[in-house]
Amino acid sequence: RFLFMAALLLPLRGCVVLGPKNKPIPASAAIVRESIKWRTKDADMAVLLHETAQQFLDIHQQVAAMDGSDATVRAQNAPEGLRVQLGMVIRKLKQHWHLGALLAPILSTPQAAPVGTEESTTAATAAAPSSSTGQRGVTAAGGNEPASEEVVRCKEVYGTLKAAASAFGLEECWQWKPLLDGKQVQALLELQKPGPELGKAMGEALNWQLAHPSGSLEECQQHVKEWWQKHKA
């Protein structure tokens, strides 16, 4: 349900409307909440899927550009930043991260072009009924099914993202408990009280954990200490 809803509303990503107290809200969220009458959580999920789909697509481009056709080889050569990036996106969507990965390749199709753009106008014209036949435009394959190359690309993008998550050891990272909690980081760095610096240190600890899924508590502590020394300098 979430995937179909987000896919149908893709052309409206980036559009905003005035909500309660004239506060701008995403148009897709307003449609889900006010017109379809689904829950607020459903509306928020539509917006989140739109945001993360683009992030997944960016990650796919980076993974696809890496040397090696085997997912394991790519995982070994993947920079830490890419692992962290993928892990953060997965943690945003939690158990629904597969939906974001499935939605990502659809962004590249003409039908998903944002409204008001040249691409969306072209797609609408192609889908409109023909004046001579009264039938809607057809795909390159000559039928109403998506062109085969689009289907192949969708499978390839999702497959690459899924393989990367598996190879990086991040498939269930949204369930992980932090190796270091706030009190532990505060004691480790001898901070007098919580504050912005503690938040940054905890973020660094999480980044290290995503980049090193098999890493130990001691290794994470050492990394945070070294990061803190550089951060203070």
Tell whether the model's pLDDT for residue 124 goes beyond 50: no
pLDDT bucket at 56, cuts 50 / 70 / 90: very high
The whole-number average pLDDT for the span 134-152 is: 59
Q: How confident is the model at residue 116 (pLDDT cuts 50, 70, 90)?
A: confident
CA separation for the pair 19, 67 (Å, rounded) = 47
Given a cut of 90, is residue 231 above it in pLDDT? no
For residues 196-213, give the mean pLDDT. Answer: 96
Pick from 153, 173, 175: nearest CA to 107: 153
pLDDT band of 103, cuts 50, 70, 90: very high
Decide which of 125 and 152 is more confident: 152
- In 3D space, the residue among 98, 7, 92, 111 whose CA is nearest the CA of residue 48 turns out to be 92
**Residue 9: what pLDDT?**
95
d(CA 94, CA 85): 14
pLDDT digits (tens, 9 = 90+) for 62-94: 998 887 666 666 667 789 999 999 999 999 999
d(CA 85, CA 65): 16
CA distance 90 to 28: 22
The pTM for the full model equals: 0.84
> For residue 175, is pLDDT > 50?
yes
pLDDT at 125 over 90: no
User: In 10 A of CB 8, how many CB atoms?
Assistant: 14
pLDDT at res. 134: 52
Least confident piece of the model among 49-63, 142-156, 171-185: 142-156
Structure tokens at 33: 């909440």
pLDDT at position 68, please?
67
